[in-house]
A = this chain, B = another copy of it.
Amino acid sequence: MNPTKTAGGRREQILREAARLFAERGFHGVGVDEIGAAVGISGPGLYRHFAGKDAMLAELLVGISDRLLTAGRMRVAETDDPVAALDALIRGHIDFAIDDRPLITLHDRELDRLRESDRKLVRQLQRQYVEEWVGVVRRVYPRATELEARAAVHAVFGLINSTPHLGARSSVPDRAAMAALLRRLALGALATLDDGLPWTAPRTDR
């Protein structure tokens, strides 16, 4: 048993390439032949590892949602300080967005291509992840309403998940700088939840 090229490794290799292709050209825009070619086999050979094209997408989306939720819960459970928990959530999500760009892209783009049952499962996992964030945000910023907190959490997801849109150009900051910048931006956005309700326009006199 070769640990680097076992059957499980093959599956993971296929999933990795499929994720990349799906993110690049969309689920319907990628043929099984292309996925096969990306891993050195051709076309229908994939059916020795997966029940079908749909099954690959389902495994990808369920996997990412589950990992996000599990990691999020773990980070929150590790501390009693809500501020530290929020920071940990932000850092974790940023790491994920930077290191698994294709999956993040698929996560909120190809959800509707799933079978009813899988879609429901993914949505449930996503919702629980959001709830984890909302709970922490409301503890850090008790003046924010439930609706505000929820919308703000989604907005921060959009902020962090914007990373893939920058294209892998040379014009992008390196990993550490990018992560630090995204963290600052996310914390700065959420910090406005602490202000009084009639929020003032930015001062012109700086």
Contacts and interface: CB of A to CB of B under 8 A. Distances in A.
A55 interface: no
Contact of A195 (B27, B109, B184): B184
Number of this chain's copies in the complex: 2
B192 A187 contact: yes
A17 interface: no
Contacts of A29: 28, 112-113
Interface in A128-151: 147-148, 150-151
Contact of A180 (B165, B182, B187, B199): B199
Interface string A1-25: 0000000000000000000000011
Interface residues of A, number: 57
A28 B87 CA distance: 39
Contact of A151 (B83, B178, B203): B178
A117 interface: no
Nearest to A84: B204
A89 B44 CA distance: 50
B172 A147 contact: yes
Given A86-B202, A151-B172, 8 more contacts: A24-B112, A25-B112, A26-B112, A29-B113, A83-B202, A151-B166, A156-B185, A184-B199
Contact of A157 (B83, B86, B162, B202): B162
